[in-house]
Structure formats: structure tokens, C-alpha cells
Amino acid sequence: MTERYALTLFFACIVLTACGPTMKDDSLHQGSLEELPAVISAGILRAVIEIPAGTVEKRQYDVATNTFPIDERDGVPRRIAFLPYPANYGFIPGTRMLKEEGGDGDAVDVFVICGAVPSGTVMEVEPIGIVELLDAGERDDKLIALPVDPKLRTVEADDIHELPQAARDILVTWLLNYDPVDGAELIAVKGKADALATVQRWVVR
């Protein structure tokens, strides 16, 4: 890797993880967050943040307690032995990637590009693309989205292909390398229309 390319990645990562205000709607936290509707309006989705940008603890929503404990692997708390999360990581409630249809059995995952927000934050987001991945033979796609609130945005794009190339490279490289145990295989990076179609496919009916 050249010094110039390394510097480009470094500064792009700063843009992705820049600090910003939070949006936490406690009125939505009375029941299971997984049961919230996925779609708010045309092209606008609801996202639940599990892991803030810039952190290394692998957290996962626990339905029973409505909390976000650190995940465990073989009885050991999971910490990312790689670069910290380059964006806020969570899921689209009201969705399920069914195992019988090739999914991983979980809700559709999402990366929300903005300043770090706390675990449990429920945000209105605009999907701009999707990174399609295969993990242990199952689809484990990652939606890429921006906050609807313009005050929270650190970048502007209507489609993932409008993001700076360095930013796209960071997201894809991170997803392919952050978990060497499970690993992941890149299928494709697709735009906004495919992202919305994926959500519609997996909406729980």
C-alpha cells in the first residue's frame, strides 16, 4: 500500500467516524425493537443501532432484556481485533433474512454513516446501497445508509456509487477482514434500488 493511499484511507475514515449529535427516541423502546416497522415512508427506513462507530466491542441486541450486551464467542466477550467499526452498525427492524431462503436468519444489517451514536438509538435513515456478502454459505448483506436528519450527515450521496471511492473501499475492506474466524466473501456492491429491493424482500409479513 502506498503512503498516499494509506493517507487517503485514514482521512476518509475520519470523515466516516466524525462525532455528531444523537437521535434517541425512548418512546420507541417499550417493546421489542425487532418488531418496529422497517419502512417509515417511501425510500425512508428505520434503523436500530447496536454498535457505535469507532468502537471495537461486538454488541448484539437481546430481545429478552431489550438491551445491547457484548456478544460472546466460546464464552469470551468479542472485541474486534482489527480497525474499529467505521460506521454505526445495527439492523433494520421488521425484517428477517430467512434461512430457508438462503439468509442468515437475522434482521437485515445496516451501516449508518454519521458521527457515533449510542447503542439503542433508533434512526430514520435513507439507504444508498448494499454490500452483498456470503458468510458460511449464507447471505449476510449489509445495507449502507445515511441519516435523514441533515445535521447528522458527514457525507452527501444519493447512491453508494456517489460516495468517495476511498470511503467505499474502507467499508468493503473492513467487512471482509474484521472477523477472520467466520470470514466473508464479497458478491457485489449495488446501489440504492437494490438496497430497497432487499429490504422489501425480507420484510416480515
The 10s digit of each residue's pLDDT in 23-45 is: 444 434 467 999 999 999 999 99
β pairing state of 108-112 and 142-147:
parallel
Alpha carbon distance 144, 22 (integer Å) = 18
Measured from the Cβ of residue 169, the count of other Cβ atoms closer than 10 Å reads 15
Question: Can you read off the three cell numbers belonging to residue 166?
Answer: 476511498
Can you give the pLDDT at residue 107?
Answer: 96
Is residue 25 helix, strand or coil?
coil
CB 37 within 8 A of CB 46: yes
* Stretches in the chain below the pLDDT threshold 70: 1-30
* Res 22: pLDDT: 39
Query: DSSP character for 153?
Result: -
Q: Enter the C-alpha cell of residue 63.
A: 430481545
What pLDDT is stored for residue 8 in this prediction? 46
Half-sphere exposure of 143 (CA within 13 A, CB side): 35
Q: Which domain holds residue 14?
A: 3-202
Predicted local confidence at residue 201, as pLDDT: 96
Provide the CA 88 distance to its chain's centre, in angstroms: 6
Alpha-carbon distance 22 to 8, whole Å? 27
Q: For residue 126, which phi and psi values (nearest 5 degrees)?
A: -115, 110
pTM: 0.86
Q: What is the pLDDT of residue 30?
A: 60
**Based on the structure, what is the number of domains in the chain?**
1
> For 115-145, what is each residue's pLDDT tens digit?
999 999 999 999 999 999 998 889 999 999 9
CATH of the domain at 23: 3.90.80.10
